[in-house]
Amino acid sequence: MPKAFVTVRHGYEAGPELARAVFAFSREKLAPYKRIRRLQFSDLPKTISGKIRRVELRRHEMECEAEPARLPGEFWEEDFPDLC
C-alpha cells in the first residue's frame, strides 16, 4: 500500500487539514495506481550526508505490520470519505 512520509516545514502544523490537502493533491495529480493511501507525519531518518535512510523506514513498517495499530500522526485515505 503506497505510504508517504512527510516532514512539515516551519509555519505549518501537521494535522487532519494538512493530510486532507495532501490526499486531495495526490488524487488530482497522480494516476490511481500511484496515489498514496497512507500518510505519516514524522521526522525522516537521515545519513550524515543528508540522504533519507529508506532501510530504516522499511524496517519500521515491517515491525508495525505485526501490530496493525495506527501510529500518532498517521492518516489513511479512508479517514476522508468526501475525497473518495
CA proximity to 19, closest of 38, 33, 35, 34: 38
Classify 61 as helix, strand or coil: helix
The CATH class given to the 3-83 domain equals alpha beta
Domain edges within the chain: 3-83
- In the predicted model, what is the mean pLDDT of residues 30-48? 91
Phi, psi (deg, nearest 5) at residue 49? -80, -5
- In the predicted model, what is the mean pLDDT of residues 35-55? 91
The yes-or-no verdict on residue 68 having pLDDT over 80 is no
The yes-or-no verdict on residue 82 having pLDDT over 90 is no
The yes-or-no verdict on residue 30 having pLDDT over 80 is yes
The yes-or-no verdict on residue 42 having pLDDT over 90 is no
CA proximity to 42, closest of 60, 26, 24: 60
Distances from the Cα of 27 to the Cα of 14, 22, 57, 64, 78, angstroms:
19, 9, 24, 26, 13
- In the predicted model, what is the mean pLDDT of residues 19-42? 92
Q: What is the pLDDT of residue 84?
A: 62
